[in-house]
Structure 1
Amino acid sequence: MAIILIIDDDLHIGNVLEETLTNEGYGVIRAYSGTEAVLLFSQTKPDLVLLDLMLPGLSGEEVLTHMKGIPVIVISAKVDVEHKVDLLLGGAVDYVTKPFHTKELLARIAVHLRTFETLGKAGILTFEEIELDIDTHIVKIKNAEIKLTRTEYAILKLLMQNPTQVISKSQLLDRISEDTPDCTESSLKTHISNLRKKLREVSGKEYVEAVWGIGFKMKTE
């Protein structure tokens, strides 16, 4: 299930969007100001963002600079072409003008989620000395191959795809469910412990860290 973050201080529009997206099978989280959105984004990683520009706190333009590595669709009443161009060049994948047609917005969301997923599945992920080949599922540290279980691989891939983000336990379970449906809340701790041990045995380093009360992330020096 894809998770979509709605950033809009207009309760009516936000409620309509949430109801529409929920009915389409998406998970929804919301932020009502630019400052709240940036804080939320530092703690979680949605699959796509719907961003209003006229926000209390940080403006939508300022929020956009923090939304790296994720598709952002700007939804705004501003229609100035130059402004749209600046936002698209600044990192947004699309610009939808208010008022918008729900079916068109849903189509754009589906397209960008599909495109981003395809791009994310190509190539090799790297984090310091770890290399993870998404096509072959081979994980190496200093050219030494690490034998991981299906669940350990899915956990490591998700963390490496979001190296600066703390991934909560619930998000981790939800987002690896397609790759490894056998992982449960009760077994997650064991899978992560085994993954950390395998990486440590080869590298002598801790690559995955627990963030108390929140979840897990890749460990940086």
Structure 2
Amino acid sequence: MRHILIIDDDIYIGNMLEEVLSQLNYQISRAYSGTEALLLLSSSKPDLILLDLMLPGLSGEEVLPKIKGIPVIIVSAKVDVDNKVDLLIGGAVDYITKPFEIKELIARITVQLRRLSTYNDSVCIVFDDIQMDPLLHDVTISGNAVKLTRTEFAILKILMQNPTQVISKSAILDHISIDTPDCTDTSLKIHVSNLRKKLREVNGKEYIEAVWGIGFKLITP
């Protein structure tokens, strides 16, 4: 499930966005000031941010340079062209002016998340001595190839993309449902067990642990 952070002190707009985007199966977080937004970002990393400019405390213009590695769509009543250009050059990926058509904003969000998925699938992922190439569907441990099924690969991928987090069973199933629609809550345990065995057989190390009642996480070396 993709995670979107809405940074906007306008309660009405924020509530409307949260309701619409939640119905589209996005996970939503809210921040009502620039300071609160930076506090949230210090402990979590959403997939995309909707950022208003006229915020109490730190303004959107002050918050934007502090956001690294997350696509930001500016959602603001400011219409000055120079201001838009400066923000796009300064790191925003898009700019939409209030009032806006919700269908247009959803389309822009979809485009950015699609680009993010394409980028993520073109970059090798590394955890400890495991290296994964999403494009080649290739996994190695210290250079030794590990042959995984499509479902095992998808499970390992989401764990490696979130190496410090416990990933719930429901989140894993939701994330891999497009690639592996045959995976169910019951079969997930079997897939994870087989994955752990294949990784362990390379050098005897355990890489994945079950967190009782929640899900699974990688074991930090």
Deviation track 1:47-83 (CA, whole Å, cap 9, x = no partner) reads 4332334556876554874563x42223234556676
Counterpart CA distance in 2 for 1:38 and 1:169 is: 27
1:169·1:216 contact (CA, 8 Å) conserved in 2?
yes
Secondary structure of 2:74's partner?
Answer: strand
Counterpart CA distance in 1 for 2:142 and 2:8 is: 45
Counterpart CA distance in 2 for 1:3 and 1:184 is: 23
Range that drifts further, 30-39 or 153-162: 30-39
2:4·2:50 contact (CA, 8 Å) conserved in 1?
yes
- CA RMSD for the aligned pairs? 3.5
Secondary structure of 1:6's partner?
Answer: strand
Secondary structure of 1:179's partner?
Answer: coil
Counterpart CA distance in 2 for 1:118 and 1:180 is: 18
Structure 2 equivalent of residue 188 of structure 1: 188
Secondary structure of 1:112's partner?
Answer: helix
Structure 2 equivalent of residue 13 of structure 1: 13
Structure 2 equivalent of residue 207 of structure 1: 207
Give the superposition deviation at 1:178.
0.8
Structure 1 equivalent of residue 51 of structure 2: 51
Give the superposition deviation at 1:187.
3.4
Instruction: Determine which structure has greater relative contact order: mean sequence separation of CA pairs < 8 Å that are 6+ residues apart, divided by chain length.
Output: 1
Give the superposition deviation at 1:143.
2.1
Closer, same or farther: CA 189–100 of 1 in aligned 2, 3 Å:
same
Give the superposition deviation at 1:13.
0.3
1:106 to 2:91 alignment:
no
Deviation track 1:125-161 (CA, whole Å, cap 9, x = no partner) reads 2223212222231211122111222221101112223
2:50·2:72 contact (CA, 8 Å) conserved in 1?
yes
Counterpart CA distance in 2 for 1:137 and 1:76 is: 41
1:37·1:63 contact (CA, 8 Å) conserved in 2?
no
Closer, same or farther: CA 213–74 of 1 in aligned 2, 3 Å:
farther
Counterpart CA distance in 2 for 1:211 and 1:59 is: 40
Q: Percent identity?
A: 63
Range that drifts further, 173-182 or 94-103: 94-103
Counterpart CA distance in 2 for 1:2 and 1:127 is: 22
Q: Give TM-score, length-normalised by structure 2.
A: 0.75
- 1:4 maps to a residue whose letter is I
1:6·1:28 contact (CA, 8 Å) conserved in 2?
no
Closer, same or farther: CA 219–39 of 1 in aligned 2, 3 Å:
farther
Closer, same or farther: CA 185–87 of 1 in aligned 2, 3 Å:
farther
Counterpart CA distance in 2 for 1:206 and 1:111 is: 38
1:196·1:208 contact (CA, 8 Å) conserved in 2?
yes
1:149 to 2:149 alignment:
yes
- 1:74 maps to a residue whose letter is I
Structure 1 equivalent of residue 131 of structure 2: 131
Counterpart CA distance in 2 for 1:216 and 1:58 is: 37
2:3·2:29 contact (CA, 8 Å) conserved in 1?
no
The number of residues matched between the two structures is: 218
Give the superposition deviation at 1:177.
0.6
Range that drifts further, 184-193 or 105-114: 184-193
Q: Give TM-score, length-normalised by structure 1.
A: 0.75
Kindly name which structure, 1 or 2, has the bigger radius of gyration based on alpha carbons.
Answer: 2
Structure 1 equivalent of residue 28 of structure 2: 29
Closer, same or farther: CA 207–90 of 1 in aligned 2, 3 Å:
farther
